Chains A and B, each alone.
Chain A
Amino acid sequence: MVLFIAQGLIWTVIITLSSFALGALFGVFVALARSASSRVIRALARIYVDMIRSVPPLVWLFIVFFGLAELGLKLSPLQSAIVTFSVIASAYLGEIYRGGLASLGSGQIEAAQSIGLSRFDLLARIISPQIFRTVSPSMVTYGIGLMKDSALASTIGVVEMTFRANQVTQSTGMGLTSFAIVGGIYLALSIPLGLWARRVDEKMRKKYVVN
């Protein structure tokens, strides 16, 4: 039974990693738009973020899976899950980046501008590496949340762990055992991730003492 359920782990991992990666990438644009100098762009980005965060992930998942199908864009359950969670992640991670950006202060940006660095270099070599250090714990926390949310994909038919546990329960009635197994696997994934994040954070803090 454990093996049967654990086979669903692959989908959990695929959904989580790809959504996190895509969300982390698009989140950069969200953060940039949220801190843009143009008021219109800032407002649009704000609406995007608020809209995504105000609606439950499950509802978004159904909108993408059932809603887009009605409009003629038929996505597979897996595709729907990845699209939905990527978009949601982009809003949350974008906000996390923006917080880091705000804590960076204007001095770093001005120094980079004064030595003539391009906007790309400013972002890639000055802002990102410094922000990464401050936001990586929040990012991992969000990543763990995303992994847990990926269980929602079972509702549209992605055969991940929760889906399988449900199948087991339907056929054997052993609901406690099967879902305890799922919980155990999530626990086994979350705790090491959290510990790892803390370790990395401490290591980076030691490397560059910021005063």
Chain B
Amino acid sequence: MSTENKTYLSARNITKDFGTTRVLDDVSMDIQSGDVVSIIGPSGAGKSTFLRCMNLLETPTSGTVEIGDFAITLGAGRSTASKKELATLRRNVGMVFQSFNLFPHLTVLENICLAQRRVLGRDAEQARVRAFELLDRVGLKDKSEEYPGRCSGGQQQRVAIARSLSLDPQVMLFDEPTSALDPEVGAEILAVMRELAEEGMTMMVVTHEMGFARQVGDKVHVMVGGRIVESGDPEQVMTQPSHERTRQFLAAVLGR
């Protein structure tokens, strides 16, 4: 990719208030093309809210989201992004949810083809070919005609990944993609994600999977109380955390 080693996606000074509660307090983060960044931290720290700000599913109270050379700044009298800004951002940023969120009234194939046709304007055959490529890659080629309700959780999440990849995003956001799954099934999802990472996909992952963050991540951010308290090389952060709050958190999750 031509954008190698360049900041691709960045969030600057993101602040988010829900009513009078500040859930994100001046959070900034850069992600280089091809990197995998993990965000860890205790529940309620604002990790998911932050991730959702990256594709503006959640609108920051103030701050800037920048993808490539395209920047969207909110706050200072501007409370919503324009249709065009949202379209450009979401066209380039894919997202995988904790609860899969497949469309239950569409088959697996239709789930993967819908946006290809309606957003990218691919014809039925092109969309189908791409969908089968991706289904093959996540090992679900034979499930194309099933409805999501007849697929297991792990299968649904793999379809969700394929759906998101079908738009050829530049960046993938993962919001606790394994939290709703059994550990064993979660491992399948992590394997798919690891493969994606190896192929050079730029990824931002909110996760409780310390093993993944440590082995696959190029960088880890620890978020507590709406702020990033520590960032750095995963190995370093996990073995020699410099912040007391990180130490507490790691002791709690790793000490089990």
Contacts and interface: CB of A to CB of B under 8 A. Distances in A.
A126 B90 CA distance: 18
A116 B90 contact: yes
Contacts of B202: none
A63 interface: no
A111 interface: yes
Interface string B75-115: 00000000000110011011101010111110000000011
B44 interface: no
A117 interface: yes
Nearest to B57: A110
Given A208-B149, A209-B147, A211-B149, A114 B104 contact: no
How many residues of B sit at the interface, in one of the four size bands?
A: 20 to 34
A97 B93 CA distance: 31
B163 A115 contact: yes
Interface string A104-146: 0001101111111110010001100110010000000000000
Interface residues of A, number: 22
A210 interface: yes
Interface of B: 55, 57, 86-87, 90-91, 93-95, 97, 99, 101-105, 114-115, 118-119, 147-150, 160, 163-164, 167
27 contacts: A107-B97, A108-B101, A110-B101, A111-B97, A111-B102, A113-B57, A113-B86, A113-B90, A114-B57, A114-B93, A114-B95, A114-B97, A115-B90, A115-B94, A115-B119, A115-B163, A116-B115, A117-B114, A117-B118, A118-B118, A125-B118, A133-B105, A207-B147, A208-B104, A208-B147, A209-B147, A209-B150
